[in-house]
Amino acid sequence: GSTMERKSEDLEVELGERGRSSSERTPLTAPPALTQTKRRKWRKKLLYIAAHTRLLENREPPPKGWREGSKALLAGSKLNVLLVLAVAIPAVRSKSATFVLSCLVLLPLASLLGDVTEKVAYHTSETIGGLLNATFGNATEALVSIFALRKGLVRVVQVSLLGSVLSNMLLVLGSAFVAAGMRVKLAHFNRTAATANTSLLLIAVLALLVPAMLEAAQEITDQAERALSRSTSVLLLGIYVAYLNFQLSSHSKLFDEETELARHRERGEEQPQASFADVAFTALAKRHNQSHPKPRVDPVSCGGEQPDAAAIRHLVPPKTPDDDDDYVLRLDVALGWLAVITLGVAAFSELLTATLEDFSAQFQLPDAFVGFVLLPLVGNAAEHATAISMAYRAKMDLAVAVALGSSTQIALFVLPFMVIVGIFLHQPLDLAFGSFETAVTALSVLIVASQAQMGEVHYLNGICLVVAYCIIALSFYYIQQP
């Protein structure tokens, strides 16, 4: 009782001080005729109703079935309109047109694959959900690479995976910095998580640099070089497993958005104090077996004995643009759509790789340029849009995590995995990318690592990254075919 009384008194003082600093709001006060006991009951009732209202507004809807879930999934993005182009592919005779249509159909399929993976992960634990997102997040790149490797397009596989790494590091991250710079002069992000990703990317650069240097110095045979690449790939996969454990379990908080307390400490401000409304809301959430983020209490404006709607609305957190798109699919619906979309990605990936050489020949484009620019854009278009959107809405931690996280997954998982797959497909895929490819990758990682150390960027940093990507892309257009 005494603890509750002290919390209520502290809340009244705090809200009263806030109310006096605002011309629009008045401090929380009770009618003078009320006794102290009645005032305590009045405050407790007000805070309880506000917390209960917030809990009801944050309660998640029931999972959707096949009809409603399929409708919500397909209507979730305007990009899904491109799926109708799949009907026109059998009627097209030109292989170049088939390549273009396959690229356009893969754009929404790659986005849907990521969405459905999240719906499946909702029904699992946090660790299993993270593993699902990490595995299926790059399924499009992996399937395209497998079908290209089956057709002997080793060079295309190498440059396409390299293009995925560099496009995420330079193009996506740079565009996110520019988008954030349109809103604020200096955008801040989680420096610890960013440097963890760049450190792993430096290890991947070392794995590419060693065989390239040995090959350039002619100090290793082709057979020994392939053995070195395969052994290094196994080590990279081991690092990737450690990275997943680091990200999902042991140091998962480093990859979350910075907390309010961390931001206050960095700016030298005092720690915000928890109020009784937070305690009431947490108790209600536990009673309903729900988990919600701790709310933030705003000053309350009320002038009667009973709490009015305006007072409760001040205590309810505002909805974000993501709330309207948040829905849950039943597990069988999510798994069914995951299987269908994965098969669709595999089918159109095979069409894409089967017509790639004809498209390059008709438009006189080098295979390396098509692999470096076009194929990564097909697999990463949804991530590009997500990172830019998050950065524009001042969610820099998410934008940086999407860009650098995708680069890390491709460099540490997809690339070494494809080297292992090449053994079973009898294709000489290795980590010897050549001196030029290795050099531009190393320089790109160093540039991004230097910016990740700062923890704050402006639009000029983003422009530099985008220009760096354009320079590298143009070089693949003019480079001679090996």
HEC letters along the chain: CHHHHHHHHHHHHHHHHHHHCCCCCCCCCCCCCCCHHHHHHHHHHHHHHHHHHHHHHHCCCCCECHHHHHHHHHCCCHHHHHHHHHHHHHHCCCHHHHHHHHHHHHHHHHHHHHHHHHHHHCCCCHHHHHHHHHHHCCHHHHHHHHHHHHCCCHHHHHHHHHHHHHHHHHHHHHHHHHHHHCCCCCEECCHHHHHHHHHHHHHHHHHHHHHHHHHHCCCCCHHHHHHHHHHHHHHHHHHHHHHHHHHHHHCHHHHCCCCHHHHHHHCCCCCCCCCHHHHHHHHHHHHCCCCCCCCCCCCCCCCCCCCCHHHHHHHCCCCCCCHHHCCCECHHHHHHHHHHHHHHHHHHHHHHHHCHHHHHHHCCCCHHHHHHHHHHHHHHHHHHHHHHHHHHCCCHHHHHHHHHHHHHHHHHHHHHHHHHHHHHCCCCCCCCCCHHHHHHHHHHHHHHHHHHHHCEECHHHHHHHHHHHHHHHHHHHHCCCC
Give CA–CA dist 60/264, Å, rounded.
31
Give CA–CA dist 441/379, Å, rounded.
20
Q: Are 100 and 359 in contact (CB under 8 A)?
A: yes
The residues pairing with 329 across neighbouring beta strands, listed in sequence order, are 64
**Domains of the chain with CATH codes:** 104-262+330-478 (1.20.1420.30)
Longest dimension (CA), the chain: 94
The contacts of residue 310 (CB under 8 Å, 6+ apart) are: 301, 302
Residue 425 corresponds to which tokens in the numbers above? Answer: 């497909």
* Number of residues assigned to the chain: 482
Residue whose structure tokens are 């990490």: 134
- Residue 273, CA atoms < 13 Å, CB-side half-sphere: 8
Task: Specify the pLDDT at position 357.
Answer: 86
Burial of 245 (0-12, 13-18, 19+ CB in 10 A): middle
Q: Which amino acid belongs to residue 352?
A: L
| pTM exceeds 0.75, yes or no | no
Residue 33 corresponds to which tokens in the numbers above? Answer: 């005729």
Phi, psi dihedrals of residue 185, rounded to the nearest 5°: -75, -40
pLDDT per residue as tens, the chain (482 positions)? 555 555 555 555 554 555 454 444 445 454 555 567 777 777 667 676 766 665 555 556 678 888 888 888 888 888 888 889 888 888 888 888 999 999 899 888 888 888 888 888 888 776 677 667 767 777 888 888 898 898 888 888 999 999 999 999 999 999 999 999 888 888 888 888 888 889 999 999 999 999 888 888 888 888 888 899 999 999 999 999 998 888 877 877 766 654 444 444 444 444 444 444 444 444 444 444 444 444 444 444 444 444 444 444 444 444 443 444 567 888 888 899 989 998 988 888 888 888 888 888 888 888 888 888 888 888 777 778 878 888 888 888 888 888 888 899 999 999 999 999 999 988 888 888 888 888 999 999 999 999 888 888 889 999 999 999 999 999 988 886 65
Distances (CA, A) of 450 to 314, 317, 376, 461: 42, 37, 24, 11
Give CA–CA dist 405/192, Å, rounded.
13
